[in-house]
Chain A
Amino acid sequence: MTPKLDKQEMRNYLLGSLEAERRAALEESILCDPGIYEELVVVEEELIDEYITNNLSPSERQQFETHFLITAERQKKLRFGRLLRRYLDSQPVFVSPDDIPAPVVRQDKIDAPATKFFSFATGSFARGATLTVSSAVVVILVILTLVCWRANRKPDTVQENSPNPIPYTLTPASLRSEDAGTQRVKAPPKGVNVRLNLEVTNTNFRNYRAGLFREKNFVQTADELKAEPNGEQRVVPWTIAGEVLSPGDYQIKLSGVAESGPDAFVDNYSFRVTKK
C-alpha cells in the first residue's frame, strides 16, 4: 500500500532528515509507484533551484551540501542548474506592472505595459519565445518608459560631492565556485556612493553596459562603462548612489557593446545588500 507522502517529506528525504520509518515507506514507493518517483525527481530539481537562488533555510542549505551533494550525479545536476539559471537571467525580464518600482514608470505619462523588456536585451537575449509581435510593442513602450524615467531619475544619480565611494569587487556567476556563499555589500551611509568592481574575463569590448535588478525588478542601467586593471584582474567599475542600494538581493547583468550588431551578454553578478 502506498503511504501518503507530501512534498515536505520528500524534501526531508532528499536532505537526509526524514525519520527511518517514513524513509522506508517512501523508498518502497519509489520502486513500486511511478507517480512517487516522478514527484521525487521534480522535488529534487526544485531543491537544486532553491539552493542556487539562496532560498533554502540555513539548516537545509547545510544538509544540501553535506548530504544531498554527495554523488557526482547530483553535482552534475547542480552544475546544470547554475548554467540554466545563468541563461535565464540573461533573458528579458517578464514582470507584472505591479512589480515595476515607482521611479521607473511614470504612470501619468504612459500606460503601464503588460510586460517589461530590458532595453538592451537584443540579439541573443531576445531569442526564443519573446519574438512575437506583442513583444515589439512592449519594447517600444519600455523605451518610452525608460526615456521618461531617465529624465526624472534624480534619486538614483551618483552624488558628485560624496566622499570616496566604498569599493566592492564582485565575482561573476560563471566563475563562482559551487560552495561560495552569497556576495555581500553593506548598505552605505546616506550620501556615500558604492563602487562595484565587476570582474570580467572577456575584455574584448570597448564599452560595457550594465543593468541593476532588485529581486528581478529593474532598478537602473549604466552605459559606456570601461574595463580597467585591478591588481591581476580586469574589472568593470560601476559607481552607484548609495541611496539606491537598500537591503535586499540584487543582480547585475553585464553586456559588452559590440562595434556593430547587438550587445553581447557577458555575465551576471549576484549580491546581497545588508544593513549598515
Chain B
Amino acid sequence: MVQAPVIALKHVTFAYEDLVVLEEVNLAIPAGDLVCLVGPNGSGKTTLLRLLLGLLRPTRGEVRIFGKPPDRVRSRIGYMPQQADLDRRFPVTVLEVVLMGRLDSRLHGPYTAGDRRAAMAALGELELTDLARRPFASLSGGQRQRVLIARALCGGPELLLLDEPTANVDALAGERLIEILGRLNQRMTIVLVSHDLGFVSPVVKTVVCVNRCVVVHPLGELTEAHLRELYGGRICLVEHDRVVVREPADA
C-alpha cells in the first residue's frame, strides 16, 4: 500500500502582484523524509516555506499537507522560525516560550498541567531542562535555537519545518542540532531551509533546489553541475569532514 505524501504541491504558482516568485511547482514529500530546501537569495525558498505553513495562499494550484490545506492541520505541524526577528530582551522565560507551542485557535484559559508536561518533555528532549526557568534573553545563540525547536515540538507535530536552524549558531552547537534533527527524523518528517547544504548534509535525504522552479534530487545524486545550474554562476563547494593533505613538493 503506497502511503500518501505528507506534503503535496500541485501546479503551484505564487506571484507578489506581477512578480512571479514560484512557477508551476509540483512536489511530493513522503513521510519520514528529511528535506533541505536550497537556492540563492530571492529564489522563493522562503515563499515555499510560507506556503507550507499556510501563511501564504498560492496564486494558482494547491498545497496539501496530510491531504488537507495547511490551515486545517496546524496542530500537526511544528515550526521553527529564524531567530533574527525576535526581541532578545523580551521578559520571558524559556518555559514560557516553549509553552507558546501549545496555543491554538481555540479560546484558552491558563495553561494546563498537560501543557506543562508536554513543554518539559520537549525541553528534556533538547537537553534544556535545567534552563526552563531562565530568562530567554540570557541564553546563548545555540541554546535559544534549541528552545525554539522545543517550542515547535511540544505540540506533538508529525511534520517539522525549520528556517535556517544552523544560522547564527557556532559550529559545535550546529553539529549538536543536526544530531538532534536526525533523531527526530525517526518519528517525524522534517523540512529545513538552509543556505549551508554541506553542513546539514549528514542527515539530509532529499535536496529540493528552488529557483523559481523546483527540482528534486536525492542527496547522493546531487552534483556540482546541478548546483552550478541552480545558483547560476561560479560556486565554491565546501566539503566538510574531509582533511586535505598536501604532500610537500619533491625537491
Tell me if chain B binds chain A: no
